[in-house]
Copies of this chain bind each other. A is one copy, B any other.
Amino acid sequence: MKQLTVWAPLAKHIAAEVDGETVSLEAVAGGWWKTPQMYPAGTRYSFMLDGGEKTPDPRSLSQPQGVHGPSELVLPQSFAWTDSQWQAPPLASAVLYEAHIGTFSEEGTFDGAIKHLPHLKELGVTHLELLPIVEFPGVRGWGYDGVDLYAPHHAYGGPHGLQRLVDACHREGLAVLLDVVYNHLGPSGNYLERFGPYFTERFHTPWGKAINFDDQYSDEVRRFFIDNALMWLRDYHFDGLRLDAVHAIFDMSATHFLSELASEVAALSANLGRHFVLIAESDLNDPRVITPQEAGGYGIDAQWSDDFHHALHTILTEEREGYYADFGTYRDLEQVLKTGYAYHGQYAPSRKRRHGRRPMEANGSRFVVCTQNHDQIGNRADGTRTSHLLEIDRLKIAAAVLLCSPFVPMLFQGEEWGTRRYFQYFTDHQEPELAEAVRRGRQREFKAFGWKPDQVPDPQAEDTYRRSRLDWTELSLEHHQELLDWYRALIQLRRSEHQLSNPSLATIEVHFDERDKWFCFRRESIAVFFHLGVHTVELPQAGIEELLLTSTDAVCRSGENLTLPPDTVAIARIKPLHRE
């Protein structure tokens, strides 16, 4: 049983329609309102501000009829958890796996995902990371258009479905991270503005109004997002959060929202005795985000390093369009491997300005890296994956660099077997004009890159969604099995050779020859060599002691020397540093 409460500091009168009956709310302190009575779980209700139309609760925990429908009272605390002994492993030893609930399983639900957890466990994954799962318009979508930020999507299975999935992960020995969007709300079903100054006109985001983190009434707006974060960790047992696009969180106040969030999460961690992590998606290359608070930073545990992706992707694919123009040299990859960023103050042509700053700390576990993710695939016009762009030889090279890197590696669903499925941009907007605007926007965006309108998949078409759903039957094909074995072997090696998961960047050594197209990076006594040239290359002074893994049998050593045919990679134990 629970009272219904809502924050609406400027409202004159608030009523709720509760299971068909209208009830007036009482004003309490700080702009909050509450119903006189308590209601049981399952109660359906809406709020009416100052005689206006019915709207969902901004903190609704469940929207069984979608973003415009009534809210449902849920008591997440009532779930019977079986994970009381669970602790997540540290990020430094993690292998992340990014999955989208709607396309990961045949069913596209939380429960549907459960049966594939053994696959992840067997692969060596430690953390499942879910794309946003909160209520967004319609039933198909990536999730970044969420508007009921406290409500797990009804089409995925709602609150209890999510709890069953997290509990199942923990039982399987997998930690679970959740992608949360604290920089804007989706364009449809966003009723927050009616309740209070959740948004500001002072700053702009590319996707919608910026959140009011630092102006009048912002204390309670900040609480809205911080309480949301704490809820996922406390009531849904998530082990951490991935914070979407923190570069669009504008906060000029003395304590940045990210810093306050990190402090509150640390306090909850102490209170519950569980490890939590916060990972930011940041386009800033600003070490402040991941610097500990004692050293003047925000105290976020880690950030995505897009530079890693771009540096490796451009070398392997030779693509140079858009922001890939800023990358493409072996030296970019060297910079990333040594510092986490390729750009730490240099001029970035696509940005037309200098970009980034050098981190003071040389700690690889502050960076989550990948060779594919939902954005890098899905933000291509047709959602082609790296496995559409590259032959298996180069996919193996990508995987080796990723999984032998000093960073926290992350896979994207199906990457591990080189799936031929796409991950296209799909939506299910209910308003025809919004649907059309998204469709046209997408066509416009890719026109600049030579795509004709009818070549760009229609985000609203159900087929676009279907093409993006994983096909688990692919796993029985030999070609896919070969790549999967390679991923398994790499993760296994990362686990058994502690040097590979050592996050220190201080000892990384890089050698390359851009003309002959070979590259080597060395982690103490283990080195990764790859070769992209058209002729076999001999590395006479490679110092090889033992080949640990090679992408084909054609890679061979003779004494200390290494022979690399085109498009191959080798991981080798090598002589100690002072060898000459």
Q: Please report A residues at the B interface, Cβ cutoff 8 Å.
A: 201-204, 214-219, 247, 250, 252-255, 284-288, 291, 295-297, 344-345, 347, 351-357
Residue among A215, A351, A356 with most chain B CB within 10 A: A351
**Contact between B202 and A253 (Cβ–Cβ < 8 Å)?**
no
**Contact between A252 and B254 (Cβ–Cβ < 8 Å)?**
no
A219-B354, A252-B284, A254-B357 are known contacts; what are 4 more A-B pairs with Cβ within 8 Å? A250-B252, A253-B286, A255-B345, A255-B357
**Contact between A286 and B214 (Cβ–Cβ < 8 Å)?**
no
Residue of B nearest to A354 (CB): B219
> Can you list 6 A-B pairs, Cβ within 8 angstroms, ordered by A?
A253-B286, A253-B355, A254-B288, A254-B356, A295-B295, A295-B296
**Contact between B351 and A216 (Cβ–Cβ < 8 Å)?**
yes
**Contact between B203 and A254 (Cβ–Cβ < 8 Å)?**
no
Contact A216-B353, Cβ < 8 Å, known A296-B291, A297-B296: yes
**Contact between A219 and B347 (Cβ–Cβ < 8 Å)?**
yes
Name the contact of A284 in the complex, choosing from B203, B253, B288, B351 (C-beta under 8 A). Answer: B253
Contact A215-B253, Cβ < 8 Å, known A203-B202, A296-B295: no
* Cα-based distance from A129 to B252 in the complex (angstroms): 28
Q: Which residues of the partner chain B approach A285 to less than 8 Å between Cβ atoms?
A: 254
* Cα-based distance from A295 to B202 in the complex (angstroms): 29
* Cα-based distance from A296 to B291 in the complex (angstroms): 9
**Contact between A353 and B217 (Cβ–Cβ < 8 Å)?**
yes
**List of 9 A-B pairs having minimum Cβ-Cβ separation, nearest first:** A296-B296, A254-B357, A254-B286, A216-B352, A218-B353, A254-B356, A219-B353, A255-B357, A202-B204
**Contact between A254 and B355 (Cβ–Cβ < 8 Å)?**
yes
Contact A284-B345, Cβ < 8 Å, known A214-B353, A353-B219: no
Q: Which residues of the partner chain B approach A219 to less than 8 Å between Cβ atoms?
A: 347, 353-354
Q: Which residues of the partner chain B approach A216 to less than 8 Å between Cβ atoms?
A: 351-353
Name the contact of A288 in the complex, choosing from B203, B218, B286, B296 (C-beta under 8 A). Answer: B296
Residue of B nearest to A356 (CB): B254
* Cα-based distance from A201 to B219 in the complex (angstroms): 26
**Contact between B286 and A217 (Cβ–Cβ < 8 Å)?**
no
* Cα-based distance from A203 to B219 in the complex (angstroms): 21
* Cα-based distance from A354 to B220 in the complex (angstroms): 10
Q: Which residues of the partner chain B approach A254 to less than 8 Å between Cβ atoms?
A: 284-288, 344-345, 355-357
Q: Which residues of the partner chain B approach A351 to less than 8 Å between Cβ atoms?
A: 216
| A326 smallest CB distance to B (angstroms) | 13
Q: Which residues of the partner chain B approach A202 to less than 8 Å between Cβ atoms?
A: 203-204
Q: Which residues of the partner chain B approach A353 to less than 8 Å between Cβ atoms?
A: 214-219, 253
* Cα-based distance from A284 to B250 in the complex (angstroms): 14
* Cα-based distance from A386 to B250 in the complex (angstroms): 38
Residue of B nearest to A213 (CB): B353
* Cα-based distance from A218 to B355 in the complex (angstroms): 10
Residue of B nearest to A202 (CB): B204
| A434 smallest CB distance to B (angstroms) | 24
Q: Which residues of the partner chain B approach A203 to less than 8 Å between Cβ atoms?
A: 202-203
* Cα-based distance from A204 to B250 in the complex (angstroms): 12
Residue of B nearest to A201 (CB): B204
Residue of B nearest to A221 (CB): B353
* Cα-based distance from A69 to B342 in the complex (angstroms): 46
Name the contact of A217 in the complex, choosing from B201, B253, B297, B352 (C-beta under 8 A). Answer: B352
| A156 smallest CB distance to B (angstroms) | 34
Residue among A203, A285, A296, A297 with most chain B CB within 10 A: A296
Q: Which residues of the partner chain B approach A297 to less than 8 Å between Cβ atoms?
A: 296
Q: Which residues of the partner chain B approach A296 to less than 8 Å between Cβ atoms?
A: 288, 291, 295-297
Residue among A218, A252, A288 with most chain B CB within 10 A: A252
| A30 smallest CB distance to B (angstroms) | 10
* Cα-based distance from A254 to B346 in the complex (angstroms): 12
Residue of B nearest to A249 (CB): B252
| A108 smallest CB distance to B (angstroms) | 37
Q: Which residues of the partner chain B approach A247 to less than 8 Å between Cβ atoms?
A: 252
| A215 smallest CB distance to B (angstroms) | 7
| A366 smallest CB distance to B (angstroms) | 14
Q: Which residues of the partner chain B approach A357 to less than 8 Å between Cβ atoms?
A: 254-255
| A550 smallest CB distance to B (angstroms) | 39
* Cα-based distance from A35 to B295 in the complex (angstroms): 49
* Cα-based distance from A483 to B202 in the complex (angstroms): 45
* Cα-based distance from A295 to B255 in the complex (angstroms): 16
Residue of B nearest to A204 (CB): B202
* Cα-based distance from A297 to B254 in the complex (angstroms): 12
Residue of B nearest to A248 (CB): B252
* Cα-based distance from A93 to B203 in the complex (angstroms): 41
| A38 smallest CB distance to B (angstroms) | 30
* Cα-based distance from A254 to B354 in the complex (angstroms): 10
* Cα-based distance from A255 to B216 in the complex (angstroms): 28
Q: Which residues of the partner chain B approach A291 to less than 8 Å between Cβ atoms?
A: 296
Q: Which residues of the partner chain B approach A204 to less than 8 Å between Cβ atoms?
A: 201-202
* Cα-based distance from A347 to B252 in the complex (angstroms): 16
Residue of B nearest to A283 (CB): B252
Residue of B nearest to A296 (CB): B296
* Cα-based distance from A287 to B293 in the complex (angstroms): 13
| A553 smallest CB distance to B (angstroms) | 45
Q: Which residues of the partner chain B approach A215 to less than 8 Å between Cβ atoms?
A: 353
